[in-house]
Structure 1
Amino acid sequence: MDIINKLNPSTSALHEVGQRAECIEGTRKEILDNIMNWAGDGSSTTMTGYWMCGMAGTGKSTIAQSVCLGLKRKGLLGGEFFCSRQIEECHDYHKVIPTIAYQLASRNAKYQQALCDVLNEDLQLASKEPQYQVTKLLIDPWKRVVSRGESPFLAPVIVIDALDECRDISLVLEFIVPAIKKQELPGLKFFLTSHPEQHIKKHFDLDAIQQERLYVQKFYLHNVEKSIVKKDISLFLGKGLIGLGISKDKLDILVERSGALFIYAATLVKYLASGGHRASSRLEKVLNVKGSPDKIQTQMLDELYTQILSDSLDKLSPEEQDQSIRIIHTVIMTGTPVSCQIIADLLDYKVQDVKATISELQSVLYTSGPEETI
């Protein structure tokens, strides 16, 4: 039986497709070591799920790419699905489970046979909703593999990157996360990444996980100690701009400007390194905080944030859009962390309306504390 035709997997969602960057050697070392140690831990007490959450531009997809390459070298890569804003078929939530099932089948002969049996019983599974796909394409055939004695010491890892870029991904998470938590896929591990958006966060409720002693651990990338991020970005910029002879004091300024955003650092490298004879003048423009940046200087960052804001605002009514834009402007203009209540008081809005806007934009607006300081 032709499994490809039966499953119709996405060939564009693989980590090897396109210009996917990996972490520069020496950067993100502690984070990558932590993930790879988790992947290689075969003890019965280790978590079977690992959710890495981070704001836009903090480097999640680059880390996920490096994780895939590291897992592949160790023979631990079970399958992957890289959601991509640029590739339309990666937006389809129906593709996620069939693509993972296809990759597992190509790497495990016993699972392939079990999957073929399931597909022979129902040829339409690949087009059905996730509640059927998770059970019929993953849980049932995988349990047959385990029941036949296939329980490897080192569990293969499934990597799903950028959940937030896949439309209606909640419909998949609603069924795959409980399966991970309840260990219904023994011998498999899942590494997931996303923005801290509410429709995704709700599936990884920390209190419920701790209370039920379930099997998913969380890691907030944007909360990584600033000194570690600063060191990594300094190394990244130093290697990326090595041919320009930039002095250490100027490089330190670029590091500070980047903050915790690797995408900003990557934008700087692309802008300056491609400048040729204009590199020096471009550097001075970047260092001149009073000057206005060229569009090309911030293009990558602008495109990312514009898309996130558009996706959020497009779902709202005209009145709600206007309200949200005023809230965003106010957050930016305060110039210092403030609570949702203060924003509400300044605009004479209801605090729940402010919280709604902030919740929808947690990919680009950092919040902390019990009173949701922005």
Structure 2
Amino acid sequence: MYKLDETVKQEYQALQQRLQKILQVLENHSAGATSSAVMSKVEDMREFIEEELKSLGNKPRKQMHGRLLLAKGEEERFLSCCRRIQEYMEQLSLDTTLSIWKLEEQQSKEHMSSWVRRLPSSPSAWYKSSAGAELKRRECTPGTRVDVLAHLLGWAIDNSTDTVYWLNGMAGTGKTTIACSMCKELTDNGELAASFFCSRQRQECRDVNLIIPSVAYQLARFSPSFQAALSAVIEKDEDVHHKVLDEQFEALIRKPLLAVLAVGPPVPGRMVVVIDALDECENRDSTRAILNLLLDKAVDLPIKFIVSSRPEPQIREEMTNERVKSRLVLHELDTGNVQTDIKAYLQAELKPMKPPPEEAQIAALVDRAGVLFIYAATVVRYIGYGNFRNAAVRLRTLLNGSRTENTKKNEEIDHLYMMVLDAAIGDQGLEAAEQDDMRQVLYTVICAREPLTVKGLSELLQIKDVERVRAALQPLWSVLHVVGVNELVTTLHASFPDFMVDSVRSKTYHCDSDVHNQTLANHCFELIKRAQPRFNICGLESSYLPDGNVPNIEDRVAKAIPQEL
């Protein structure tokens, strides 16, 4: 009996000492912990151990009779305490193991993301990007283009083997607006895997070599399994996105998708990629090459591509053969249906007019628009100038303007652009110097390789007063767009530069690009003459080091070379 009592006592003391040591370890670690989660777990353990120590320290109740009964009670209390501690430690071990797994998974994802982030993602070209808002990309007015969107969505969800859909339309037929609406519908359905909106107005949006890396980057964000496969590819070849287009496509899209497909679908639903305005990319050969890749190498991939463009020769040649079975030509749609949509658009956008346009006036505008949504959009901008301050007069000017009847496809948009220019440059109340300012600014916006700011236009054209440039731009806001706080000046639509450089269409307002480019070159030489220092303008440490290896080369160029150059 005495031996049993002594044994229990020794076990009690040993357990108390072990718990005291664990408590001391916890105290030491909690002092340096910064994570709230870690501190919370340590505090829970400390409270549990203190509670058990308190339990072990309690003396047996006085009313217990007999040494045997006392010994058995103490033994049961001791075993119960041991079981509680064992259960707690098992739970703690499981929780720790799961936390480690979660941490390893997170680190693995971060490791994969670090490789994917090496790709040029070109966010300005994405649907719903801030750049897109500045460039006036928008969805269709509710209730318009319903049949077109239904047709596209039907193709996106069917099980046909066609992987490329060509949305084809001449300038101004609303391709980008439709593409934006498609992106919205696909996003709402969880099926928009990637998008790339090409544009002449931004460098990263017109470089065809950036399309595949950007699409791959977005696919990695859309599908975790694709991200893992893509990361493995990039880890083996960090510079794969600099290679020719076919190697880019094979490594960044085709190979990862096939690797994922061998195990299971990349995502539970569908994956659709939207590429808009492909004709606005600057390299025609590369544009043709990327179309060939989509048509030849995407046929067995679990992904679909919607491509919109004008019917430019380099695109039409690839897309009018038997490889492309799914296409829609916007300017060949039923005129009545298109004009119904244009009418709905005009009624919605001209609502702020007080009083609103009469039905006959809307009908006249619809008749002039034909199938060109860009005409309707330009009408809205023209009438709404100055927050609809003089809307009624501008509407009457539009409707009373004389037209020469002909059958040319650009008749209506040409007439609209001529009317805007007549009201701006042709204003008889302007001085000759003011008209010249307007022409010089307009022609420079048309011919400049990169969009210029108002200040950049002032510097390049050597118009010392920036307000003169702003004054020259203001009457042209129906066809030019001034973006953001830095006042970047761009054309409203690609159809306007086309109109301006065509002497037959723009007549007296024609921009002779050869002549004006020579003028701009002379201005640039004048700016270069004034540059200080003239030699090693960027302050490079060595002429033997390639530009790609010069630290902060972009910052140096931006600092040393004026934006207008």
TM-score tier (shorter): 0.7 to 0.9
- Matched residue SS, 1:242: coil
Aligned residue type for 1:264: Y
Task: Note if 1:254 corresponds to 2:362.
Answer: no
Conserved? CA contact 1:174–1:203, under 8 Å:
no
CA pair 154-180 structure 1, distance change in 2 beyond 3 A: farther
**Superposed counterparts of 1:116-265, under 5 Å:** 116-150=231-265, 154-168=269-283, 170-181=285-296, 183-206=298-321, 208-209=322-323, 216-244=325-353, 245-265=356-376
CA distance in 2: counterparts of 1:329 and 1:237, whole angstroms: 26
Deviation larger for 167-176 or 99-108: 167-176
Distance 1:64 1:240, change over 3 A: same
Segments of structure 2 that go 5 or more residues without pairing to the other structure are 1-110, 404-418, 425-475, 481-490, 508-565
Provide the C-alpha distance between the structure 2 equivalents of 1:204 and 1:259, rounded to a whole number of angstroms.
Answer: 26
2:221 matched to which residue of 1? 106
Give the letter aligned to residue 142 of structure 2: E
Aligned to 2:398: 286
CA distance in structure 1 between the partners assigned to 2:284 and 2:225 by the alignment:
29
Deviations 1:256-304 (A, max 9, x none): 1111111110111122123534111111101112395424485258863
- Give the counterpart letter for 1:299 in structure 2: V
Aligned counterparts of 1:71 and 1:4: Cα–Cα separation in 2: 24
Whether the 8 Å contact between 1:50 and 1:217 is mirrored in structure 2 is: yes
Which secondary structure state, in structure 1, belongs to the residue aligned with residue 209 of structure 2?
A: helix
The alpha-carbon deviation at position 39 of structure 1 amounts to 1.1
Cα distance change of structure 1 residues 27 and 219 upon mapping to structure 2, 3 Å threshold? same
* 1:24 aligns to 2:141 (yes or no): yes
Gaps of 5+ in 1: 210-214, 314-323, 331-374
Work out the CA distance in 2 between the residues paired with 1:67 and 1:254: 27
Q: Is contact 2:116–2:234 with CA below 8 Å preserved after alignment?
A: no
Match in the other structure for 1:85: 200
Asked whether the equivalents of residues 278 and 287 of structure 2 are also in contact (C-alpha less than 8 Å), the reply is no
Aligned ranges 1:258-337 → 2 under 5 Å: 258-275=369-386, 276-290=388-402, 292-293=419-420, 294-295=423-424, 296=476, 299=479, 304-308=494-498
Conserved 8 A contact 2:116-2:220: no
Cα distance in structure 1, aligned partners of 2:493 and 2:153: 32
Residues 48 and 181 in structure 1, CA contact (< 8 A), matched pair in contact too: no
How far 1:160 moved relative to its partner? 0.5
Structure 2 SS opposite 1:192:
strand
Query: Shift of the alpha carbon at 1:180?
Result: 3.6
User: When the two structures are aligned, how many residues end up with a matched partner?
Assistant: 309
Per mean C-alpha deviation after superposition, the further-off stretch among 52-61 and 271-280 is: 271-280
1:223-250: CA deviation from partner (whole Å, max 9, x where unpaired)? 1110011100000001111232111111
Match of 2:191 in 1: 76
1:135-164 CA-to-partner distances (Å, cap 9, x unmatched) read 111111110011112166742101100001
Distance in 1 between residues matched to 2:295 and 2:264, nearest whole Å: 20
Q: Which residue of 1 aligns with 2:180?
A: 65
Higher radius of gyration, 1 or 2: 2
Q: Contact conserved, 1:268 with 1:297, CA < 8 A, in 2?
A: no
Choose 143-152 or 67-76, whichever is displaced more. Answer: 143-152
Extract structure 1 runs of 4+ deviating beyond 6 A: none
8 A Cα contact 1:13 1:83, kept in partner: yes
Counterparts of 1:273 and 1:175, CA distance in 2: 40
1:35 aligns with 2:152: yes
Counterpart secondary structure, 1:290: coil
Change (3 A) 1:110 1:297: closer
Letter in 1 for 2:498: I
Give the SS at the match of 1:7.
coil
RMSD of aligned residue pairs (Cα, Å): 2.5
SS of the residue 1:6 aligns to: coil
Q: Which moved more, 1:229-238 or 1:148-157?
A: 148-157
Q: Which residue of 2 aligns with 1:372?
A: none
User: 1:297–1:249: structure 2 CA closer, same or farther, 3 Å change rule?
Assistant: farther
Partner Cα separation in structure 2 for residue 184 and residue 52 of structure 1: 18
Note closer, same or farther for the CA distance 1:297–1:171 as it changes in structure 2 (3 Å cut).
closer
The whole-number CA distance in structure 2 between the counterparts of 1:223 and 1:112 is 41
Please report the TM-score for the alignment, with normalisation by the length of structure 2.
0.51
Q: 1:170 to 1:153 in 2, by over 3 A?
A: farther
Question: Higher relative contact order at CA 8 Å, sep ≥6: structure 1 or structure 2?
Answer: 1
User: CA distance change for structure 1 residues 179 and 240 in 2, over 3 Å: closer, same or farther?
Assistant: closer
Which one-letter code corresponds to 2:393 in the other structure?
S
- Percent identity among equivalent residues? 33
Residues 297 and 285 (structure 1), Cα distance of their counterparts in 2 relative to 1, 3 Å cut: farther
TM-score (norm 1): 0.76
Give the distance between the partners of 2:492 and 2:215, measured in 1 at CA: 32
